[in-house]
């Protein structure tokens, strides 16, 4: 599979009726991303031995690494995943993030959610940062039921509020009795749907969705869109990362196109998606 194969050009109007509602009046700025850089530091791309010899060599390598200081060791590789991204988001906006595989979309989203510290630059959020990034607190060895409680508390709900929303969350995610099994036994679709159901349960200030909508059926997508609309109506901001341009176009009024960690275009969904489609088609023709 090439890096562009995953992009889904199919428009599925009956799944996602209504459009993004670009006419909606926007509120005041609630998020400022200022010259954001995220650089991952990865240890040891170099092969240092095989099989039984690995352990001892590995230990020696690590000792040497610690003695020398990580900065001087050649095999620490730096990956600049986000390079100088700046933008402002307003209340009531739904913003899609597009880009080919490895372009930095998820890293940007996670940094905006406060899950990755900036290497340089800053993210300023007005509102409840704890409302962002329920993914970080969920635990695979605990049941869906326990994770609903943990995620709900992380979103700022009380225990009683989580209990009151429990049935709705389970029903929304469509995971049924699997809610009593450990989350690590779930398919990626099931856990993505449960994460989405939990993170949107509290009508957060900023709702961040990374591909979750791609994992459900038409009914789930329709329900998700209704929930996203509720968040926006209550002047929340929605960020959506997806390879499905159909999903992005039907939900987002504005789109950020990220390429090699840089923001190459930021504008109305229609314009950015059209430019991005052109880029992907040209890339496909070349390969």
Ligand X SMILES: Nc1ncnc2c1ncn2[C@@H]1O[C@H](COP(=O)(O)OP(=O)(O)OP(=O)(O)O)[C@@H](O)[C@H]1O
Asked if 81 interacts with ligand X (CB under 6 A), we say yes
Asked if 105 interacts with ligand X (CB under 6 A), we say yes
Asked if 180 interacts with ligand X (CB under 6 A), we say no
> What is the end-to-end Cα distance of the chain in Å, rounded?
12
Q: Which is nearer to ligand X, 111 or 228 (CB)?
A: 111
CA 139 – CA 184 distance, rounded (Å): 8
Tell the smallest beta-carbon distance from residue 84 to ligand X (Å): 15
Asked if 42 interacts with ligand X (CB under 6 A), we say yes
Q: Which is nearer to ligand X, 116 or 154 (CB)?
A: 116
For 246, phi then psi, to 5°, come to -65, -45
| Ranges within 211-250 binding ligand X (CB under 6 A) | none
Strands 237-241 and 94-98: parallel
Asked if 133 interacts with ligand X (CB under 6 A), we say no
Asked if 39 interacts with ligand X (CB under 6 A), we say no
Q: Which is nearer to ligand X, 104 or 236 (CB)?
A: 104
Tell the smallest beta-carbon distance from residue 173 to ligand X (Å): 22
Tell the smallest beta-carbon distance from residue 128 to ligand X (Å): 24
Q: Which is nearer to ligand X, 9 or 40 (CB)?
A: 40
CA 77 – CA 54 distance, rounded (Å): 20
What residues are paired with 211 via a beta bridge?
Answer: none
Q: What is the chain's percent helix, strand, coil content, to nearest 5? A: 45, 25, 35
C-alpha closest to that of 36 among 132, 104, 133, 95: 104
Tell the smallest beta-carbon distance from residue 98 to ligand X (Å): 9
Strands 237-241 and 76-90: unpaired
Strands 262-268 and 254-259: antiparallel
Asked if 79 interacts with ligand X (CB under 6 A), we say yes
CA 52 – CA 32 distance, rounded (Å): 51
Stretch binding ligand X (CB under 6 A), from 103-111, 134-142, 215-223, 265-273: 103-111
| Ranges within 83-102 binding ligand X (CB under 6 A) | 99, 101-102
Q: Which is nearer to ligand X, 26 or 265 (CB)?
A: 265
254 close to 271: Cβ distance less than 8 angstroms:
no
Judged by the rule CB under 6 A, the positions of this chain that interact with ligand X are 40, 42, 79, 81, 99, 101-107
């Amino acid at each position: 599979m090439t890096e562009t194969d995953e992009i889904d050009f199919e428009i599925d109007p009956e799944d996602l009726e209504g459009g993004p509602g670009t006419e909606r009046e926007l509120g005041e700025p609630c998020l400022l991303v200022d010259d954001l850089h995220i650089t991952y530091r990865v240890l040891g791309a170099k092969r240092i031995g095989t099989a039984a010899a690995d352990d001892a060599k590995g230990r020696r390598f690590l000792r040497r690494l610690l003695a020398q200081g990580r900065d001087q060791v050649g095999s620490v590789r730096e990956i600049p995943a986000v390079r100088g991204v700046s933008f402002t988001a307003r209340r009531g906006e739904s913003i899609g993030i597009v880009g080919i595989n490895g372009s930095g979309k998820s890293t940007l989203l996670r940094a905006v959610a406060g899950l990755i510290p900036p290497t340089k630059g800053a993210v300023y959020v007005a509102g409840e940062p704890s409302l962002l990034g329920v993914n970080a607190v969920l635990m695979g060895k605990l049941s869906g039921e326990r994770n609903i409680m943990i995620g709900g508390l992380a979103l700022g709900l009380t225990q009683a509020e989580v209990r009151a929303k429990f049935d709705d969350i389970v029903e929304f995610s469509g995971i049924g009795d699997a809610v009593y099994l450990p989350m690590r036994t779930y398919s990626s679709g099931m856990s993505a749907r449960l994460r989405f159901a939990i993170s949107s349960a509290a009508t957060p200030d900023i709702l961040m969705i990374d591909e979750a909508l791609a994992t459900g059926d038409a009914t789930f997508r329709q329900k998700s869109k209704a929930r996203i609309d509720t968040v926006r109506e209550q002047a929340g901001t929605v960020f959506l990362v997806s390879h499905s341009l159909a999903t992005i176009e039907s939900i987002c009024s504005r789109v950020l196109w990220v390429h090699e960690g840089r923001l190459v275009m930021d504008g109305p969904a229609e314009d950015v998606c059209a430019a991005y489609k052109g880029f992907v088609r040209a890339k496909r023709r070349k390969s």
